A = this chain, B = another copy of it.
Amino acid sequence: MERRRADVGLAERAFGAVGKDVTMSSLRTPDPNPGWLSEFALEETRSRVPILYVEAVPTRVDAAGQIEHVGVLLRGSAATGQITRTLVSGRVFHGESIRDALQRNIEKDLGPAAFPRLPVSPVPFTVAEYFPLPGVTPLHDPRQHAVALVYVVPVTGECNPRQDALELTWLTPKEALEPSLLADLEGGRGQLLKQALAWSGALV
């Protein structure tokens, strides 16, 4: 069930199309796919309230917990059509806990053989605010006003990004802080990468 939700969520984002049977599901009570929304309902909702996201900076850490590498995704942006770099990111569904949303979105972006060490505390290292208009803050998302709780998540196991994420690159903190790389991150997320490395003591 959890897996099915994840798959549907992925389909929704990747294809931007909705089958009729899924739309109908919102008529049933209780809704078997509570987090899932039709394209129309999602657009409408995006015009009404800030949409809650979770985001994660995947990391490889040494035995002492220090970051050795951070993972950056390379993928096609639904927003711009360009190939851009990004972080693990996804909506919190209706009825879903933040921990479950984090786990689901990490699995969605890094694959089922990645073993994330989810944080003990639900307190994020930063709260990212994306506005539809560029320039209001360093972060922006043309689709919506979004608020993301952002976490650093050490990951073991193998990371095999799924279909829509073309590549996962592991970078040293020094490489990750290269201005040209930071500038490549979608929606201003270079800022989040800098904040993640500052918080973990790896900012150089």
Name A residues whose Cβ lies closer than 8 Å to a Cβ of B.
Answer: 31, 37, 41, 45, 47-52, 59, 61, 63-67, 91-100, 102-103, 117-127, 129, 131, 137-138, 145, 147, 149, 152, 154, 191, 194-195, 198-201, 203-204
Contacts and interface: CB of A to CB of B under 8 A. Distances in A.
B200 A66 contact: no
B199 A203 contact: no
A127 B53 CA distance: 13
Contact of A48 (B94, B100, B120): B94
Given A95-B145, A131-B95, A204-B191, A121 B49 contact: no
Given A45-B45, A48-B41, A94-B50, A117 B117 contact: yes
A22 B203 CA distance: 38
Contacts of A47: 31, 94
